[in-house]
């Protein structure tokens, strides 16, 4: 009766040690792509929100366009602020990508 419990415990101890480092790059890639997908959403927040204070930054970029023209300097400054979190997150996750290449090359 004790043997299946010991085997089950060994499996749960072995799984994070053996598969954790191998799955870390895949999990970080999925997290990065999910963040970018949510961060760059435009149409859904535009359709759902009515209050301008509830809209995302991508919708705010569209508000810089007007009938008289576009203030390009303000648009580019705001666009660089919108992209900044994605770039920072990419540089944080880039180490995981390099480790994935090293691990897969050794196999």
Strands (E), the chain: none
pTM of the model: 0.64
Predicted confidence at residue 65, as pLDDT, reads 75
Range of the domain at 70: 23-106
Q: Is residue 98 part of a domain?
A: yes
Rounded CA gap, 80 and 87, in Å?
10
Predicted confidence at residue 106, as pLDDT, reads 63
- Do the Cβ atoms of 85 and 39 come closer than 8 Å? yes
Q: Is residue 2 part of a domain?
A: no
Rounded CA gap, 75 and 18, in Å?
48
- Tell me the pLDDT of the chain (107 aa) as tens digits: 556 766 776 777 777 777 777 787 778 878 888 888 888 787 888 888 888 788 788 888 887 776 677 788 888 888 898 889 889 988 988 887 777 667 667 65
Q: Is residue 5 part of a domain?
A: no
Q: Is residue 10 part of a domain?
A: no
How many structural domains is the chain composed of? 1
């Amino acid at each position: 009766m004790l043997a299946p419990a010991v085997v089950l415990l060994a499996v749960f101890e072995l799984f994070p040690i053996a598969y954790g480092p191998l799955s870390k790059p895949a999990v970080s890639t999925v997290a990065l792509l999910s963040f970018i997908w949510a961060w760059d959403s435009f149409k859904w927040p535009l359709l759902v929100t009515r209050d301008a204070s509830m809209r995302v930054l991508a919708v705010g970029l569209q508000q810089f366009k007007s009938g008289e023209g576009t203030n390009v300097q303000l648009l580019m400054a705001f666009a660089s602020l919108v992209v900044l979190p994605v770039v920072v997150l990419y540089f944080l996750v880039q180490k995981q990508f390099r480790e994935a290449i090293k691990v897969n090359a050794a196999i």
